[in-house]
Chains A and B, each alone.
Chain A
Amino acid sequence: MLKCKINGKEVEVPEGTSIIEAFKLSGQDIAHYCWHPGLSVAGVCRLCMVEIEGQPKLQIACNTQVQDGMVINNNSETVKDVVRWGLDFHLINHPLDCPICDQAGECGLQDQYMQFGKYTPEMAERKVKKRKVVDLGPTVVLDTERCILCSRCVRFTDEVSKTHELGIFNRGDRSEIGTFKDRPLDNKYSLNTVDICPVGALTSKDFRFRQRVWYLKTAESVCPGCSTGCNVNVYYNEEGLWRVRPRYNAEVNGHWMCDEGRDTYKFVNRKARLLEARVGHKDSWQSEAPGSAAKQAGVKLKEVLESEGPESVALVLTGQYTTEEYEAAIGLFQSELNSTLIYHWVNNPESFEDFDGLLLRGDKNPNTKGLLQALEQAGIDRPWQDLLDRLKAGSIKTLVVAGPENQSVFPDQLEKLEMFKEVENLIWLTAGPVEGLEHRAKPTWQIPLKTYIEKAGSFVNHQGLKQSFQVGTIVVSSALTLAEAVTLLAGQELELSAQDQILQQNRKKNFFTETRGAL
């Protein structure tokens, strides 16, 4: 371990660390654009200049290794002046696009400008004008004028996604980022370039112009797209979720995530959700509150159980719920309903073990391992064929299905609905509405559930690593979690959380609170 002093603060770093990494370890700020911890060193922005004692010339921090006993500083007037002019050189040809640029609020140039300035610009000549709104591919839009040629996106497509689609064309201040004529930026990780671009040159077609980032709050979570379980930050406000971005995790996903995972906010927003429970059958649907619908279904379930016996109710689970929910649901099923007919719905056994070498896996459920672990703990191991046989034999009268919240990765839902057509009572627990259920002729209960961002729990990824997350935001407050739904189905009452208990006890009991809504 080497010792060095950064701005007067002692830091110990391992061998081979560059000065800019030492800055990050010691928690101090240094202005930079082209360096990224997940990419190779380019040293082209020339902003990370530092003063090293004993060396007359300023050095760049990203390409200089720390030596033992180095004394480094970046808050002297010389360094600040160098950074100010370096920033000014970036800005002299940069267009005045802040009002229409998506990056406003999280822009590298804006942040450094507020910190260092050169608040009186001296460039009085014409700026270089380049192409704007260039369509790079199915997901990304390029604005070559805003580009500061840090080459992060080029290094990303060369080193991380290894698809070599981006390059820098022309030279000097006519340089532009671009793709070759017949090769658009079309790979499964293309939106990472939008994340790493420090300015608004690369923007996501999906997020473009939809919201300003200062209106959004962040919540940490785990992506439910596949069994890799990339750590993500979800951006939301009171209207819903707007985008999903990767969070650094050294063991699971590094700095990146795939494009498919970025669509996982779409099934969470209100317009894609089931807001009330739907009870009934074809041509006579009724809307109910989720809790009371679940209680009704529970009553019916108990009736059927009494008349037909414990082998008449079955539970089908997908790998999309948290481990805690599985343990609660399976436990309740066994103890209250005395049934061990619990099945694991696998939607794609052929491509289950797929892995594309970087992050994408074939198993599109975040918690398959968790489900298998919970089933193992409970000692249940029934193959899917068992369910099909019993369905054919007609011994199952009530089927409880915990459907997928991410319906786009379960294209076989309709197929499964066909299989379940003959069951007398179908209780389908789902986050979003299921088209195929509208035409069912037999009694059906569609009960809305909460999605991954509204729950606290943990997912176990393909490696067996358990990742916990807290509640991010509540989008549909009336929806239930799987544990709550199964509790109600089993005939038990829901426990109020400690917070809600206190609220209920201390609520004023008067005319207005008791006769709510009557006015």
Chain B
Amino acid sequence: MEIKLLTEHYDKPEYRSLEGYKKHNGYKVLAKALKMEPKAIVEEVKASGLRGRGGAGFPTGVKWGFLPNNGEPRYLLCNADEGEPGTFKDRLMMERAPHQLIEGMIISAFAIGSQKSYIYIRGEYDDSIRIVSQALKEAYAEGLLGKNILGSGFDHDMDVYVGAGAYICGEETGMISSLEGKKGQPKLKPPFPAVKGYLGKPTIVNNVETLAAVIPIVDKGAQAYRQHGTEKSAGTKLFSVSGNVQRPGTYEVALGYPLMDLINNECGGVKPGRKLKAVIPGGSSAPVLTAEECARANMDYESLAQLGSMLGSGAVIVIDDSNCMVDLLGVIMHFYHHESCGQCTPCREGTGWLNKIVHSIVSGHGRLQDIDLIVRVSEHMMGRTICALSDAAALPAISFVKKFREEFEFYVREGRSKVKGAAHVEM
């Protein structure tokens, strides 16, 4: 069952404009927040248990608490790069409710004491860029941004920054490098962005949905937010469901919602005559779940972690038995090979190697030892790099090979897929 905490009015086209947004309780929470103490807002967000909705799931209130008190100017960066394959929830929010994002950002900026924020939108999202820029203009005209917002004495400036087509710029330090005008290559951590980020100053990087979720927390309070979801994963989340389902799209449900309910009730299940084979629950970086594991899966951080996968960005990719897992892995490996930034050696060479191995299997030249080699290369890529792209490439490779080994072995022995009539993508 959908709980439309954030997405209540997304079906109304007027919600995009400032007047339409204001008709539905828009910017009232901002007025309330500006009267509160910034520290109180941070405590409220901490108490609500809101976790980062971009993929890492780090408690937002705790992240805000890492900012040092050294008088340096602070920056708030909204990560609207949304590069994770399968994810399109932020696009929905930016196209249907840009003001929700802006309001959430102003409240968050007020809470952390930031005078300047950027919305980093990926270059491929033409519509989002246009709509959010327009919304910003409206907000400035209305006095909701700039000097002395709503007469509270708080100044804030917000800008849209357009990306240029790199998945790695969705990594927080990669995004900071890109904003600084350099190549979008991640920086070494420590020092962490909260201490030394954009231009060397304390910076908070949050996902679009996280910043928008601050609105209901400040509006109704932390306890009301905790009514939804589970003990450790509180609140609601937008899930982008795609793949072999009848009704793909974005659905907002409470965390802890059973996966099979989401697929069968909200999305109408798989097409008639087909059987569910696998589900990737959190974007292509998450390990895949077999159909049997899906029956035990709830959509929250703990349940999926217990099953060996992760919630990630909440992009659910449903795979039925008309798809070949080997081909699918080839597509995923091609993506990571293409998007690796090339800074550190295990990721740069490892993603290329994995891509070549899987493609030699797909083209019929695989050897039996290649299957174990995929697992061994992936294991040695994990945990040894500057950012998590290497882990994101290694985890699906390991999970695909371990859980669908017969398909790989069939492909190596016979030179073709076990699934008859499977779609084959030429790279």
Contacts and interface: CB of A to CB of B under 8 A. Distances in A.
Given A123-B353, A124-B367, A44 B340 contact: no
Interface string A146-168: 00110000000000000000001
A339 interface: no
Interface in A86-126: 86, 89-90, 92-93, 122-126
Contacts of A174: 342
A172 interface: yes
A173 B352 CA distance: 7
Contacts of B268: none
B312 to A, nearest CB: 21
Contacts of A171: 166, 168, 183, 339-342
Nearest to B356: A125
Contacts of B339: 171-172
Most buried by B among A49, A58, A168: A168
A92 B349 contact: yes
Contact of B373 (A58, A85, A122): A122
Contacts of A128: 352
B342 A86 contact: no
Given A172-B348, A172-B351, A43 B188 contact: yes
Contacts of A41: 188
Nearest to A149: B342
Given A93-B349, A175-B342, A85 B386 contact: no
Contacts of A172: 337-342, 348, 351-352
A439 interface: no
Contacts of A57: 383
Q: Which of B341, B356, B384, B386 has the most CB of A within 10 A?
A: B384
A126 B355 CA distance: 11
Contacts of B384: 46, 49, 58, 82, 86
A125 B357 contact: yes
Contacts of A43: 188, 344, 386
Interface residues of A, number: 32
B188 A63 contact: yes
B275 interface: no
A170 interface: yes
Given A43-B386, A82-B384, A93 B352 contact: yes
A480 interface: no
B380 A149 contact: no
Contacts of B348: 89, 149, 172-173, 175
A93 B386 CA distance: 21
Most A CB contacts (10 A, CB to CB) among B190, B348, B349, B353 go to B349
Interface string A120-138: 0011111010000000000
B385 interface: yes
A315 B390 CA distance: 72
A19 interface: no
Contacts of B183: 168, 171
Interface residues of B, number: 32
Interface string A40-83: 01011111010000000110000100000000000000000010
B345 interface: yes
B227 interface: no
B345 A45 contact: yes
Given A43-B386, A123-B353, A124-B367, A89 B346 contact: yes
B333 to A, nearest CB: 12
**Most chain A CB atoms below 10 A, which of B345, B360, B380, B386:** B345
A132 to B, nearest CB: 19
Contact of A92 (B168, B190, B353): B353
B264 interface: no
A85 B188 contact: no
A253 B340 CA distance: 38
B373 to A, nearest CB: 6
B345 A46 contact: yes
B184 to A, nearest CB: 9
> Is chain B's binding surface mostly helix, strand, loop or mixed?
helix
Given A44-B343, A168-B183, A170-B342, A90 B349 contact: yes
Contacts of B190: 63
Nearest to A60: B188
Interface string B151-191: 00000000000000010100000000000000100001010
A173 B336 CA distance: 11
Contacts of A124: 360, 367, 370
A46 B341 contact: no
Contacts of A125: 353, 356-357, 360
Contacts of B360: 124-125
A398 B344 CA distance: 69
Given A172-B339, A172-B352, A89 B188 contact: no
Contact of A86 (B166, B346, B353, B370): B346
A149 B341 CA distance: 12
A429 B23 CA distance: 98
A173 B342 contact: yes
Contacts of A46: 344-346, 384-385
Contacts of B166: 171
B350 interface: yes
Interface in A491-515: none
Contacts of A86: 345-346, 384
B345 A148 contact: yes
A126 B359 CA distance: 12
Contacts of B373: 122
A168 B345 CA distance: 14
Given A63-B188, A92-B353, A168 B346 contact: no
B367 A173 contact: no
Interface string A471-500: 000000000000000000000000000000
A44 B386 contact: yes
A45 B346 CA distance: 8
Contacts of B344: 43-46
Interface in B362-410: 367, 370, 373, 380, 383-386
B356 A126 contact: yes
Nearest to A45: B345
Contacts of A49: 384
Given A126-B356, A168-B183, A85 B342 contact: no
Q: Chain B CB within 10 Å — which of A46, A63, A122, A172 has the most?
A: A172
Interface in B114-168: 166, 168
A358 to B, nearest CB: 25
Most chain B beta-carbon neighbours within 10 Å: one of A49, A63, A126? A63
A274 B343 CA distance: 53
Nearest to B348: A173
A90 B190 CA distance: 25
A175 B370 CA distance: 26
Contacts of B380: 82, 85, 89
B208 to A, nearest CB: 25
Contacts of A168: 183, 342
Nearest to B379: A85
A81 to B, nearest CB: 8
Contacts of B349: 89-90, 92-93, 173
A85 B339 CA distance: 22
Contacts of B352: 93, 128, 172-173
A67 to B, nearest CB: 13
Contacts of A44: 343-345, 386
Q: 7 closest A-B pairs (Cβ-Cβ)?
A: A125-B356, A175-B342, A85-B380, A89-B349, A173-B352, A172-B340, A172-B342
28 contacts: A41-B188, A43-B188, A43-B344, A43-B386, A46-B344, A46-B345, A46-B346, A57-B383, A82-B384, A85-B346, A85-B380, A86-B384, A89-B345, A89-B348, A93-B349, A93-B352, A124-B367, A125-B360, A148-B345, A168-B183, A168-B342, A172-B337, A172-B342, A172-B348, A172-B351, A173-B342, A173-B351, A175-B342
Given A43-B188, A46-B384, A125-B356, 9 more contacts: A41-B188, A43-B344, A46-B344, A49-B384, A82-B380, A85-B346, A172-B348, A172-B351, A173-B349
